Each structure stands twice: as C-alpha cells, then as structure tokens.
Structure 1
Amino acid sequence: MSLWFPRLASDRALAAHPVDGPFVLTLAHHNANRVYCLNEAARTRGLHRGMLFSDARAFCPDLASRPADPAADRRFLGALRRWAVRWSPWVGFEGQDGLVLDITGASHLFGGEEVMLAAMRARLDRAGLTVRIGLGDTRGAAWARAHHGEDAALESLPVAALRLEPETVTALQRMGLRSIGQLADSPRAPLARRFGPGLLMRLDQALGSQPEQISPEADPPHYAVRMTLPDPIGLADDVMAGTQRLLDRLCRTLEAHHAGARTLCLTLRRVDGDARDVELRLARPLRDPARILPLFRRGVSEVDAGFGIDQMRLEAIRVEPLPPEQVTQRGTRDPGRLDDLLSRIGTRIGLENVQRFLPADSHIPERSFTVVPAAYSEPGGSWVCLRPRPVLLFPPEPVAATGPRPPGRFRWRRMALSTGRATGPERISPEWWLVDDAWQSGIRDYWQVETLQGRRLWMFYTPQAPGWFVQGEFA
C-alpha cells in the first residue's frame, strides 16, 4: 500500500492556522521565491508548484502565503509513519511526501483490503489531510496507482508511473511508448542499450519480476524504565535503593546509544493512585549512576509517600549525544566535579541562575562580556584588551569635578578622596552602528586613579559635555 500526500506541507500549515481561500507556501530556490506547496483553492485558480511567487500573486491578488518549513514537514511525516504502524508493522518512507506499507498478512485483521483502505482514508480525511492511496501486489504498482490512478490497471498507466527520470519519460513518449503495457511489450535489448538497466529494473519491480524491499524506519530509543513493587515502601532510603536499580538499567540503555541524560524525571506512584514527580536537571549530559544518584536525594526526601509507593518510573526527558571518551595511559579526563557542583546548586536555585561571564567582541566596557547560564555554555574565548580593566564594573556615577585631568580632591559615595596617582587617558569612542543611550554623549577619556585612601578607581571624562564619572574599581 502506498500513501501519497500531495499537499502535505500546506495541509499541515492550514491545520495549525486555517485560511479561507487560496493559500501557498513559499521557498527560496535559485535566488527566487517560488511556490513550494498549495491548497486546492489555489490550484483551481491556475497556480502550480515551482512557479514564481510574484507570478502567483499576479494571477491571484487575494493569495495568502507563508514561508515553508521543510524540517517541520519531515517531522510531521515521521508522525504519520508512527500512526501508520497501527495498520502494519512494516512502514517506510516514500520520498518526501509519502509512505509505503507492507500489509501482507495484516489486512484480514481489519476486514480485508477494501475495508482497511476505507477506514484509513476516513481517518485521514477527518484530520484534514489530502491523500491518495494505491494498492498493488508490488511496491512499484502501489506507487503507480497512488500517483496516476487508484483503480486503473497497471498496464494502462503512463510510463511516468514507473518512477523514472523526466528526461527518460520524455524520450519514451517520443518513441511512442506512452503506457506501461506498451513498454512491457517492446523488445528489451534496444531499451537496455539506449536507457541503461535502470529502466528495465523499474519495469520489473512494478510487474513483480524483481523484488523490492521496504525498509521500515527504526523507532527512536525509549529512555524510560519502570519497577512495580510487591509491597509499598515509604522510607527515603528505600526509594533511593529503588532509584539506584532504575538508574543502572537506564544508564545501560544510554550507554548503548552513546547518549547522556540532561533532564530526568522520577515518578513515584502511591497506593491511593496519586503520583509524585521528582525532576532532576543536570549541568552536563551524564550516564554514570554513581554521579546521578546522590542528586536525587534532596527531591526524594521532600516527597510525601502517603500510605506507600508501589510503583516507580524513571525517564530521561532530555537526552544529548555523549560519545565514548578516549582512554590514555593517564586515564580519562576529569570526571566533572564542577559539573556535579553546578547540578547540586541548580537543584536548589535553578540551573539558569548559576551563570558565568564570557568575553564579547566589543571595546565598550558594558558590552565586553556576556552573562550566560553555566550549565548551557562552555568556557571559551579570551579577554583581549590593551589596557587593564577593573574587576568591579557598575553604571557611571557622577563626581563633582572640572577640567580634563583627574581632580586632586573629590567626593564619591560620601567619601572624601585625594588623588595620589593617575594613569591615562584611554579614549573610547561609541560604536556608531549600535544605538545606546548611555553613549549618546560621545567619546570618553578613561583614567586609572589611585587614591591616597587606598581606592583604585576607573574614572572617565566626557569632553563634549564636561563631567567626571566613576565606572569601576580595581581589586
């Protein structure tokens, strides 16, 4: 059985956001915006796939459009493949907009092929999907009927139904071979010499003379384990012991697929039918039970077991690749004590609140760094600056002083300070390509001012609007 969804992309887009009237999805191709997929209303107005979007708007002024998302279409087709497994366990992809099913030995479970086909079509119609279904003794015959006539005899279908290249189809038509039956009755040797073995292979696959297998897509691994207890438990130590058993099984599955867990969810079902979840987010992907288990202690100790827990389930909600590490004579790299510390702190205050500073490519002091969550970033880059920068940076604070050179005496934060040594100036200009209200006043002349009271300040002077400010303090 072959399922062809001729308007898969537009049906998916319209199911999320319906549109009345003609509608197309557009995609840039060869420096031009072209029609990628369209609905039936747009087709009846004379539009077709591949035409320029500007031409489509000229033909249909009230045309609605959206950008196409081929990645989302592939995910949607994958969801349809999983749905089709209910009809047959042997389901594979057929191009970018179709599925193929081997229903041998499965159709009688639904009352026969015709009943099965009608039920499948009814479900897809209710979902708002346009589908053409072809049945055949071979994969090629099913594809041909789905694309060129669901109830037609195979010999009467055009040669294009053999999944040939457009150039080959045109050449065959010029020779007068327009149908599969005419092609099958023609001498094979001249056809093989002119078109190669690919033409006869497609013909034999459609007629059943040469087998063609269906390669079903493997289901993604399921990272979840469960344990049913013979007697309810309620002590935290007992729950931790059960969690350890679940972790051992789950981590073996993760290791087999070279993956690591970033987010884990432990579900504890109580005797009264209620359930409690303990979620654990890790700073780095892990599959080591000895490192993960202690991180569950805090969450497990806060669970109300009620009259007891009779079932435990552990699932890796978020999984990331974790390839094997190269072992050297010095052993593996550091096991990640910092990552474990981040995970422990993150369970209390949230991983997003544990942050690190990373260098940014800007000579403006406020923009020379970025603050990002430490769990979702890697330390990298280098701080490049020709002059030293203060450890503590804060918004500019005005100082009562005049003149282009640092004042001998001034007050800052209710402190009377005297300048002992001043180094500078370092002139910093605004980044003209960015809009920043704080730098609208123009250039700044920065000085390193060491006071007799022990303060080492980073001060600047604004020549265009005379004034002194303190923006940082050195350690």
Structure 2
Amino acid sequence: MFDGIQRRVVSAWFPRLASDRMLRAQPLAGPCAVTLRQNNANRIHCLNAAAERQGLQRGMSLSEARIFCPDLQSRAADPQGDQQFLQVLRRWATRYCPWVGLEGDDGLVLDISGAAHLFGGEALMLADMRQRLTRAGFAVRIGLGDTRGAAWALARFGEGVAAPGQPLETLGPLPVAALRLDDKTLTALQRLGLRRISDLAAAARAPLTRRFGPGLLMRLDQALGRQPEQITPLADPPHYGVRITLPEPIGLQGDVMAAAARLLDQLCGKLKAQEAGARSLCLTLRRVDQEPQEVELRLARPLRDPQRILPLFETGLREVGAGFGIDQVRLEATRVEPLPVRQISHVSSDGKDRLDDLISRLGTRIGIDNIQRFLPADSHIPERSFLIAPAAYCEPAGPWVALRPRPLRLFPPEPIAAAGARPPGQFRWRRMSLTTARATGPERIAPEWWLDDDNWRSGLRDYWQVETRQGRRLWLYYTPQDPGWFVQGEFA
C-alpha cells in the first residue's frame, strides 16, 4: 500500500444469495426455500426471510421442513448459476474500487484504500452500496476494517465498522468463530473457555501454538493486522475482438478479404495465447452510411489457424452490399472453446482436418446444424440402435457392434400376406412377387419394457434374413403374439 494511505477493506456477505437470486427472477410470496440434493435427500440449501422466521434452518431435510411449515415453497438449487451471478456482482462492485475479489461462495471483498473520498467518505460509500443492493432485492451484510479478516468477521458476526488502527476494540467482543477457524478448533477453544477474540488475544501464545499449531494464531494476527493478507482481484475474461479503421472506404471483395486476413492474424494470436479456439466468428463491416453488414461463421471444430478460417468467409462476403464503401472492419470470436496445444507426431491428422473444413464449408451454405451423422446407441431394438446428431457437435463413435448382421436400409415395418411361423416360400412386397431361396434365423428380440413405444406393443419379434431368387435380400420378422409377417429392412 502507498505510504500515508491507511489500508481499508470491505467484506460484503450475501447470506441469502441463492434464494434472493431465485426470487428476483420469479417472485413468490410466503416462505420459500432452495433445496440441494445430498445423499439421496433434498436438503435446505438457502432460505428467504419469511422461511427463517418460521424457524427453518439450512441443512434440514425438505420433508422435515414441511412439517414445521406446510406452505413452504421450494425450488432446486443452481450452484453454477449462483457463482456466475456472483461474478456479475463482482464486476458491479468495481464501481467502488478496482480491487475486488471473491470471498467464498457468497461474498465479496473490496480493498477501498484511497477510494472512499470519491463517495464522500466511508459511511456514505457503505450506505450507497447497501442501498443499491437492497433495491436490487439482495440481503447484504457489510463489514469494514483494516484487514480482510476483520472485515470478514464484522460482516458475519457484527456488521459494523472498525476504527482505523483499533481492530481489537471492535473485534474483541466477537466470538472466536469470527476468525475463520474450523469446527474442530472451535470446539476445543470452547472447552478451554476461550469464547471471544479478546480472550484468545490475552492468552499465552506458546501453549496455543503447541496445541493447535500455527494456523490459529495466524488467523488472529491476520485479523488484527499483525500479518499481511492479500486481496487478489479476479482478472476480467479475455475479449476476443479486433477491428481496423480504414483511411479510405473499400468495396471490392478482395480488399475486404485482405482486411479480414489481417484481423484474423491478430485474433488467432490472442486465441493461441489463451490456448483457445473459435467455434463461431462474426465479421462486421461498417459502411460509410453507418449501416453495418454482418457475416457470421460457425465452425465444425475449434480453430485458430488463419489459413483454414479465411476461405470460409468467401461465401458470406459475396452476399454483402458495400454501398458507398466500407470504412471499418471488426472481427469477434463470439464462441470460444479450449484448444490445448497438441503434441506433434508422425501420425498425420490431415484427414480429420479436411473433414472438419468440409463440414464448415458446407455449413456456410446449408447451415451447420443440417449436417448430421449417425452414432451407435446402446439398444438392441433396431429403431433405437442409432442416433442422429449434428456432425459439428459430436465425434464419430464406434466401432458399430452387432451380434447379428443388420440391413443397410431400415424403414418402418411393411406388412406382407403370409401364414405360419417360418418364412413364406412366396410373397408379394411392394407390388413384386418374390420367391424365398434361403432364410436364416430366427433372431428373437424382446421389447424394452421400460420404454413406451407403440411400435413394439405387439411383443416379441422373430427376425429372419431372407434371400430371394430375384436378388432381394430382405429383413423380415414374425410376431408370435399377434401372428403376422413384416418387412423392415433390406441388405446391400
């Protein structure tokens, strides 16, 4: 800290972050709880003020809580969403000071040293912070002290302000739990009669160190300012966007491609530094008349190679109208995924790269979601033995495993006129008269009882591979419960 500036730290604790965020998105009247599934039971994760007044506590099972409060409303917890929203609050808090970090899963810590006078003093700054958060629907408890430990203790156990240079006078009456100690240490201190921070500060240090180790006194010294404790602000996520302003308007496609190539080199340099790759890019062309033209590109795989990305913009640029000219070009990676550096080996991956480039090129014409591939599925039912998924968002899976041969073409069952449990010698299918030359089977397939499928309500199916004298190789099945024959596929 700079000479002459007293260090001051603010801790903002959101005791009901999960429930406040939920109620902010969907207001509810009355007691409300956010539940989290733990050990095959739904337990209370967070409560609103009305539920706390009913005597409910965190950690209770939901069934137990409904006994005490029958009209309790509950919603499932979203820890990931809570952490993302806490990041939003962290960015918002930079309006007070540049040094803002996270304090656990439900708090913020701010180093406001030298910044309070910009808001008229510490009291006005804290009042403005509390007013804005309360107006947004969040319960907050704020502590201010010379150290991070003192601010944390005051936010959670006192919600007050420690005068500069006098931390012990304010922290002394607080319980030892305000020192961020583990439960085992707190229980042992209670048995020794050390219940408050003032009691711990007055006790002999050597016996405490021998019994509890250096961690106990380290927390005490951090709270009182005898040992430093840093506040590490989180860095803002990298922004993958570059632009160029042209001295003279351009209108030829070759000139636009040259500008895009220059921007791609800069953007891919940023992606490489972060070991990331772009999955979608947006090229914005600002015309002289201020009307922007956008060309969006979606890739089959994360890329950061300018030579592979640049040709994919050609199709979209053909449809762009330059008007009176383009004076600014901006390129942004709107979706980014991790792309670690790969070890170079003698095994070439050119084939896979060419396939990815082909999918990306076709995707610029017909839409990348329209390019699909078949994937094997874990089911012995013919209709459920495969999945169809967009090729850009999945890897080829395999190998395809089938205990019996499967037809190349599979279609909905088509009935044929036949009798008996064995394949017919002659039958008509699709207006063709066919004669059986050889039949292999049967392969009995039972329905998957846990799935509701109208096509399999008839029960068992006995499948046969039938070769006809006319050259057709068909896949027929017979239903014993409701006697009948059907054709469902054709081999190559």
- Give the TM-score, by structure 2 length: 0.91
Letter in 2 for 1:171: A
Matched residues in 2 for 1:331 and 1:467: separation? Answer: 53
Aligned pairs (5 A) from 1:109-128 = 109-128=118-137
Of 300, 325, 341 in structure 2, the residue corresponding to residue 324 of structure 1 is 341
Displacement of 1:154 = 2.6
Counterparts of 1:364 and 1:219 in 2: how far apart (Å)?
A: 50
Give the deviation of 1:114 after TM superposition.
2.0
1:158 aligns with 2:183: no
Instruction: Confirm whether residue 37 of structure 1 aligns to residue 46 of structure 2.
Output: yes
Verify the 8 A CA contact 2:31 2:73 in the aligned structure 1. Answer: yes
Report the Cα offset of residue 250 of structure 1.
0.8
Contact 1:265 1:280 in 2 (8 A): yes
Counterpart residue type for residue 46 of structure 2: C
Q: Which of 143, 151, 154 is the aligned partner of 1:145?
A: 154
Confirm or deny that 1:337 pairs with 2:370.
no
Correspondence 1:371-390 to 2 at 5 A: 371-390=388-407
**What are the residue-to-residue correspondences of 1:36-435 with 2, within 5 Å?**
36-151=45-160, 153-329=170-346, 334=351, 336-435=353-452
Q: Once the two structures are aligned, what percentage of the paired residues are identical? A: 71
Q: Secondary structure at the match of 1:421?
A: strand
Q: 1:255-280 CA distances to partner (integer Å, 9 max, x unpaired)? A: 11111111111122222222222111
Q: How far apart in 2 are the matches of 1:358 and 1:30?
A: 34
1:243 deviates by 0.9
Q: Write the distance in 1 (CA, Å) between the matches of 2:190 and 2:100.
A: 34
How big is the shift at 1:452?
Answer: 2.8
Q: What is the alpha-carbon distance in structure 2 between the residues aligned to residue 52 and residue 470 of structure 1?
A: 55
Q: Aligned pair in 2 of structure 1 residues 32, 407: CA closer, same or farther (>3 Å)?
A: closer
Task: Confirm or deny that 1:455 pairs with 2:464.
Answer: no
- Looking at structure 2, the residues matched to 426 and 183 of structure 1 have their Cα atoms a distance apart, in angstroms, of 79
CA drift of 1:450 comes to 2.5
Q: State the secondary structure of the residue aligned to 1:296.
A: helix
**Counterpart Cα distance in 1 of 2:444 and 2:39:** 48
CA distance in 2, matches of 1:193, 1:424: 80
User: Paired residue for 2:453?
Assistant: 436
Q: Secondary structure at the match of 1:370?
A: strand
TM-score (norm 1): 0.94
Alignment gaps of 5+ in structure 2: 1-9, 162-169
Q: Is residue 16 of structure 1 aligned with residue 25 of structure 2? A: yes
Would the aligned equivalents of 2:36 and 2:43 in 1 still touch at CA under 8 Å?
Answer: yes
Q: Structure 2: how far apart are the matches of 1:352 and 1:439?
A: 31
Looking at structure 1, the residues matched to 415 and 331 of structure 2 have their Cα atoms a distance apart, in angstroms, of 57
Q: Please say if residues 285 and 329 of structure 2, whose CA atoms lie closer than 8 Å, have aligned partners that are also in contact.
A: yes
- CA displacement 1:34-80 (0-9 Å, x = unmatched): 22111111111212222332332122111111122222111111111
> Structure 1 residues 431 and 143 mapped into 2: Cα distance closer, same or farther (>3 Å)?
closer
TM-superposed CA distance for 1:334, in Å, is: 4.3
The CA distance in 2 between the partners of 1:162 and 1:463, in whole Å, is 75
Number of residue-to-residue matches in the alignment: 475
Shift in Å, 1:355: 1.2
Question: Which range moved further: 283-292 or 348-357?
Answer: 348-357
Alignment match, 2:164: none
Distance 1:407 1:231 in 2: 80
Per-residue CA deviation, residues 200-237 of structure 1 (Å, 9 max, x unaligned), is 11111111111111111222221111222222222222
Quick one: distance in 1 between partners of 2:296 and 2:92?
30
Deviation at 1:33, TM superposition (A): 2.9
CA 1:246 to 1:214, structure 2 compared with 1: closer, same or farther past 3 Å? same
How far is 1:290 from its partner? 0.5
The more displaced of 85-94 and 246-255 is: 85-94
Q: 1:421 to 1:220 in 2, by over 3 A?
A: same
Q: Distance in 2 between matches of 1:22 and 1:164?
A: 32
Residues 364 and 88 of structure 1: CA distance in aligned 2, closer, same or farther (over 3 Å): same
The AA in structure 1 aligned to 2:29 is D
CA distance in 2, matches of 1:404, 1:108: 93
**Structure 2 CA distance for aligned equivalents of residues 32 and 464 of structure 1:** 43
User: How far apart are 1:285 and its partner, in Å?
Assistant: 0.8
The worse-fitting range, judged by mean Cα deviation, of 96-105 and 111-120 is 111-120
Report if the CA contact (8 A) 2:144-2:154 is conserved. yes
Would you say the 8 A contact 1:326–1:332 is kept in 2?
Answer: no
> In structure 1, what is the Cα distance between the partners aligned to 2:487 and 2:348?
50
Q: Which letter does structure 2 place at the counterpart of 1:345?
A: L
In 2: Cα distance, 1:267 partner to 1:37 partner: 45
Give 2:167's aligned residue: none
| Cα separation, 2, equivalents of 1:89 and 1:335 | 46
**CA drift at 1:30:** 4.3
- When residues 333 and 347 of structure 1 are mapped into structure 2, their CA distance, relative to the original with a 3 A threshold, is closer
In 1, Cα distance between equivalents of 2:78 and 2:133: 21
Task: Give the conservation status (yes or no) of the 8 Å contact 2:142–2:160.
Answer: no
Aligned residues of 2:141 and 2:159 also touching (Cα < 8 A): yes
CA pair 183-447 structure 1, distance change in 2 beyond 3 A? closer
